[in-house]
Amino acid sequence: MKSYFSELFTGGWSLIVGLKITLKALFTPIVTVQYPREKSVITPNYRGHIDLVKFEDTGTHKCITCGSCMRDCPSDCIVVDGEKREGVKGKFCTVFTLDFAKCSLCGACVEVCPTKTLDYSDEYELAGFARGDFQYDLLKRVEERE
């Protein structure tokens, strides 16, 4: 008999607590982001595909075509090539492509880069109709960036 009434009161109280929680939620601002129309801020820790960093002092990347990233890459998705040019110290980078379809986002290339010119981009809207759509020319990307 005692449990009959105690169940009634504890049960009834739990119902009121539940109603309070949902009423509070009803007046809490919504958390949905209306995606194509508004976008949330990407955290700096986000590891997208790799990208060349544009340094402010030189106005471009600092790739010395050492090829460490290419050699370290477990998926063989980076191609770097360069040539010797008049008046430029070291090699001049002419090709830097990434086959993102093969990339496993391990980040070994970013770790090994001696000039810290490789970094993760915050690009997440990646979709394509063919494998070729994921062949990124990173040199072109760094020039197009403002």
Residues near another protein (CB under 8 A): 4, 8, 15, 18-19, 21-23, 25-26, 28-32, 34
Q: How far is CA 23 from the centre of its chain?
A: 37
| Residue 26 CB, nearest approach to another protein (Å) | 5
Closer of 33 and 88 to another protein (Cβ): 33
**Is the separation of the CB atoms in 142 and 104 below 8 Å?**
no
Q: How far apart are CA 98 and CA 135, in angstroms?
A: 6
Closer of 31 and 127 to another protein (Cβ): 31
| Residue 25 CB, nearest approach to another protein (Å) | 5
Closer of 32 and 45 to another protein (Cβ): 32
Q: How far apart are CA 138 and CA 99, in angstroms?
A: 10
Closer of 26 and 130 to another protein (Cβ): 26
Of 94, 125, 127, 96, nearest to 109 (Cα)?
96
| Residue 2 CB, nearest approach to another protein (Å) | 15
| Residue 88 CB, nearest approach to another protein (Å) | 55
Q: Where are the alpha helices (DSSP H) in the chain?
A: 2-26, 68-72, 108-112, 138-144
